[in-house]
Amino acid sequence: MKVAVLQFPGTNCEYDTVYAFKKLGAETQVIWHKEESLPSDTDLVVVAGGFSYGDYLRSGAIAKFSPIMKAVKEYANKGGKVLGICNGFQVLTESRLLPGALKRNESLHFISRHHHLKVVSNDNIFLEKLSVDDVINVPIAHHDGNYYIDEESLKELYANKQVLLKYTDAEGNISNPNGSIDSIAGICNKEKNVFGLMPHPERAMEMLLGSDDGVKMLEGFLSA
Amino acid sequence: MTAIVNVSLKNGVLDSQGKAVHHALDSLHFEGIKDVRVGKQIVLKLDTDDHDKARADVTKMCEDLLANTVIEDYDIELIK
């Protein structure tokens, strides 16, 4: 299992992501955004979190034109697996690899804390180790995590089981930290090979740091 | 030629910043404000005087980068 972790100027979660996948036994490589191709035997591309290009203009808006993103688009269109975490999710929506967009949090505040999430759909490689309605505890840390999609496309997301995770309380009742439509925290594309979420599974790998619920999420990719 | 691009959230997309500014203006006792929208303005200096070319170029810039048309609208004003 070989994981390529993308690094833009301003990315700051690439080494947490490397730590997480190494812990699971995967080989990892950090790929600088100026690269024009991915390592040929890449099994998973992770667009890591942070503040690519200082979030200038819009979060993820400038990163989508980095040379490596052309390779990532080709990789994804051929069925390659791509995971975008936090700023990576923003980059994937800006690149139109995932539908919708991420707006400023409704409270206008940067939110950084642990949050509970409920599994809505596990009919995909990312969450297959979890069950529907499982409640997990994963850190969130974002300013622009307010997921938006128009009503028609939202219906399609549900119909195709593309809504993966929702923000809840510890009992699994909806608890929306940022104003996301339907409290959505993570989605995938129709083909179920491109995934995006605002919470940070790579920061939930050790009980010492409050939660290891990220293990079950990321492990899904290793069973492929 | 100068192009002034105004980008704002689409109607129907909640503008949290606009709401917060509206609320602040209310608490300062400014009256008669029906709605507040916060957007951004991007000013481009172009080396062409060809109006049609400028509009076509800037429209492409808006579609590709300056606006996210999933949530934002843009308008372009050209000044000689």
pLDDT in tens, B19-51: 999 999 999 999 999 999 999 999 999 999 999
Please name the member of B17, B65, B68 whose beta carbon is closest to the beta carbon of A108. Answer: B17
Residue A107: its chain B contacts at CB < 8 A? 16
Number of separate domains in chain B: 1
B3 Cβ under 8 Å from any chain A Cβ: no
> What CATH code is carried by the domain that includes residue B28?
3.30.1280.10
A55 Cβ under 8 Å from any chain B Cβ: no
Residue B66: its chain A contacts at CB < 8 A? 57
Across the interface, do A104 and B13 touch by the CB < 8 Å criterion?
no
Among A25, A44, A98, A49, smallest CA distance to A202 is for: A49
How far is residue A171's CA from residue A131's CA, in Å, rounded to a whole number? Answer: 15
The tens-digit pLDDT sequence of chain A (224 residues) is 999 999 999 999 999 999 999 999 999 999 999 999 999 999 999 999 999 999 999 999 999 999 999 999 999 999 999 999 999 999 999 999 999 999 999 999 999 999 999 999 999 999 999 999 999 999 999 999 999 999 999 999 999 999 999 999 999 999 999 999 999 999 999 999 999 999 999 999 999 999 999 999 999 999 76
B7's CB contacts (< 8 A; 6+ apart) are B39, B40, B41, B42, B62, B66, B67, B72, B73, B74
Å between A19 CA and nearest CA of chain B: 33
What's the ipTM? 0.87
Domain boundaries, chain A: 2-222
CATH topology of domain A2-222: Rossmann fold (3.40.50)
How far is residue A22's CA from residue B10's CA, in Å, rounded to a whole number? Answer: 43
How far is residue A133's CA from residue A102's CA, in Å, rounded to a whole number? Answer: 24
